[in-house]
């Protein structure tokens, strides 16, 4: 079913450059089977996060409701709704890592980076690096047998 209201709005209000890029990405994948996740990943790679504007454009291209696309974005922890901070620390909280100190490492990371707006601390449930727990990823680089001192060393490397 066509959305007449949307079509009328398109004629009156030009799309932003971001919306045009998102629409182009969605259009490339629209004919694929199950295109929503690949489109959202591509949008995030392009823009760094999936904004409300992106959700609306993807929904329009795929003829889905905004609620369906938003539900998908909010369900998967890999999708960001806001720009990422400069640094990300992810600590595995799965059973194997928990058994070797991940809870303490996560608490140490939260304490160390509390109040820093340029660092996000996230919990992840298994990197698949179980033999080297506790595992953590710092700015996308996976590390094993991580200690609080390793996090401090990483932080020192961030400072010019």
Both tokens assigned to 158: 């961030």
Report, as an integer, the average pLDDT of 148-155.
96
**pTM exceeding the 0.75 threshold for the entire prediction:** no
DSSP code of residue 83: P
Q: Is 4 labelled a binding residue? A: no
Q: What is the pLDDT of residues 107-126, one digit of tens each?
A: 999 999 999 999 999 999 99
pLDDT tops 60 at residue 10: no
% the chain with pLDDT above 70: 92
pLDDT in the model for residue 7 = 46
Residue 128 to residue 96: CA distance in whole angstroms:
10
Q: What is the pLDDT of residues 56-99, one digit of tens each?
A: 999 999 999 999 999 999 999 889 999 999 999 999 999 999 99
First to last CA, the chain: 56
Domains observed in the chain = 17-75 (1.10.10), 87-155 (3.40.30.10)
Q: Is 126 labelled a binding residue? A: yes
Q: Is 130 labelled a binding residue? A: yes
């Amino acid at each position: 079913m066509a959305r007449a209201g949307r079509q009328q709005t398109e004629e009156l209000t030009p799309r932003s450059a971001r919306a045009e890029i998102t629409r182009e990405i969605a259009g490339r994948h629209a004919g694929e089977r199950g295109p929503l996740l690949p489109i959202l990943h591509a949008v995030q790679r392009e823009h760094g996060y999936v904004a409300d504007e992106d959700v609306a454009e993807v929904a329009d291209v795929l003829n889905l409701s905004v609620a369906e696309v938003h539900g998908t974005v909010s369900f998967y922890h890999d999708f960001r709704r806001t720009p990422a901070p400069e640094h990300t620390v992810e600590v595995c909280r799965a059973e194997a890592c928990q058994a070797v100190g991940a809870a303490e490492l996560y608490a140490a990371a939260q304490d160390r980076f509390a109040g820093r707006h340029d660092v996000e601390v996230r919990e992840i449930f298994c990197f698949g690096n179980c033999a080297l727990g506790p595992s953590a990823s710092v700015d996308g680089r996976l590390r094993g047998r991580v200690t609080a001192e390793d996090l401090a060393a990483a932080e020192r490397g961030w400072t010019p």
